[in-house]
Amino acid sequence: MDVTSVRDEAGSLPRFPMPRETPFHPPAAYARLRSTAPVTLVQLWDGRTAWLVTGYEEARAVLADPRVSSRRQHAGYPFATPARAAAERGERAFISQDPPDHGRLRKLVTKYFTVRRIETLRPVVQGIADDVIGRAAAAGPPIDLVREVALEVPARTICHLFGIPPEERFFFQSRDHARNALDSTPAEVEAATAEMLGYAAELVARKEHTPDDGIVSELVRDQLHTGAVERDQLVAIVRHLLAAGHDTTANMIALGVLELLRHPDQLDELKRRPDLWPNAVEELLRYVSVFQISPNRVATEDLEVGGVVIAAGEGIITPLAAANRDARAFPDPDTLDIHREARHHVAFAYGVHQCLGQPLARLELNVVYETLFRRLPGLALAVDTDRIVVRQYLLSSLGELPVTWQVTP
Ligand code: HEM
């Protein structure tokens, strides 16, 4: 592939991240590039270039390739913005490690997130969803679905799993938000990261003194006290788990509800046929692709993909929102279709770093959507769709989602 073909008239490379033309679809540039150059060079904010992967097969090939690294400390690792560099450069959790360290550290926590183990949590998640949605229903319309429901269920589920008093969720929610917000400065991101690490360290110490039957206590007993993991490594993992399980799922709940309200025929079918929810959840994960402009990698050896040679040391960006809209993998990709076979989507990425928490995310999404539209079948947007602001940064996100419903006397 001749990379000069994607340069504009002035000979400049496309800049990344690219703006969306509409909030509900990835940038049109992804489809244009994919048709001619599914792996192509783009320009980053810091003057460096990186390879942008817009094809589905090409993204899977990169993400499964042992010649690419996730280490944020690698000199060639590409960051999408200065704030992302500030947020991630010091990352020590296994998301930023390569094999064999990655596997050793991930294994410390895999048993808590297996499909079977997560399924035993169903009554807990259902209880949390019933409580949260019941309170919202009792408060009466209109409500902000983001604050009242979407943020609540994942945060309270994490609190349950980790033995955290529910009132502490506001602290880690706000710090996490500061780390992920589009308008945060690098200094604010660094401060929020330090506070989250401090919180995770305090949580580990608290569980040493007052153990319970939550995951953090078990990790302290089985891993820290046996010398299987160093304290600062465990703290980094706890910090990462607190964050990873929270903003992603919350935004997926809110954006999924918004898409369902924008597709009322499909929503009506789901209300009549709740057995369709698991398939609909996969399609919503694909269509929304909440983890939208990453993950990123850096080549540690030369590799060929999508007709180009990526040289050792060069950065790679695989926006999952691009791969999930590739017509070669998903015919008519810009149409939401709850009957589609979508389970091969890459909304949770692919390869060794594929999302550890996906069984939990799937459980929460299924339970929340089903419960919400069963308890409040007349749920509707309280404002016009064009008044709803979908923010595009590391994650697609909604600041608020005003919804309403008819109250029957
Ligand atoms: C990794 C997406 C929910 C924990 C990832 C990755 C993606 C992702 C794309 C791969 C990052 C990479 O390759 O560098 C999502 C989405 C979610 C979600 C879309 C919700 C809809 C969760 C939950 C948890 C979780 C509920 C657990 C509490 C993790 C962890 C990793 C990860 C620990 C790192 C895995 C590794 O590096 O081996 N997630 N996630 N995620 N996710 Fe999730």
pLDDT digits (tens, 9 = 90+) for 283-327: 999 999 999 999 999 999 999 999 999 999 999 999 999 999 999
Choice from 65, 70, 248, 320 to test ligand 1 binding pocket (greatest atom count within 8 A of CB): 248
The owner of tokens 């949605």 is 133
Long-range contact set of residues 370-375: C-beta below 8 Å, sequence gap at least 24: 370/274, 370/277, 371/126, 371/129, 371/130, 371/133, 372/129, 372/133, 372/149, 372/257, 373/260, 373/267, 373/270, 373/271, 374/271, 374/274, 375/133, 375/134, 375/137
The token pair at 301 is 């050896």
Rounded Cα distance between 65 and 391, Å, is 31
Output the pTM of the full model. Answer: 0.96
As a whole number, mean pLDDT of residues 356-374 equals 98
Please state whether beta strands 315-317 and 380-381 pair in parallel, antiparallel, or not at all (unpaired).
unpaired
CA-closest residue to ligand 1 atom 36: 353
Please state whether beta strands 402-404 and 296-299 pair in parallel, antiparallel, or not at all (unpaired).
unpaired
Q: For residue range 75-108, what is the model confidence (pLDDT) as tens digits?
A: 999 999 999 999 999 999 999 999 999 999 999 9
CA-closest residue to ligand 1 atom 20: 249
34 lines ligand 1 (CB under 6 A): no
Whether this model's ipTM surpasses 0.90 comes out as yes
The yes or no reply on domain 28-405 and CATH 1.10.443.10 is no
Q: What is the DSSP letter of 146?
A: I
Backbone angles phi, psi at 380, to 5 degrees: -145, 160
pLDDT score for 6: 60
70 lines ligand 1 (CB under 6 A): yes
Nearest to 320 by CA among 332, 330, 310, 311: 330
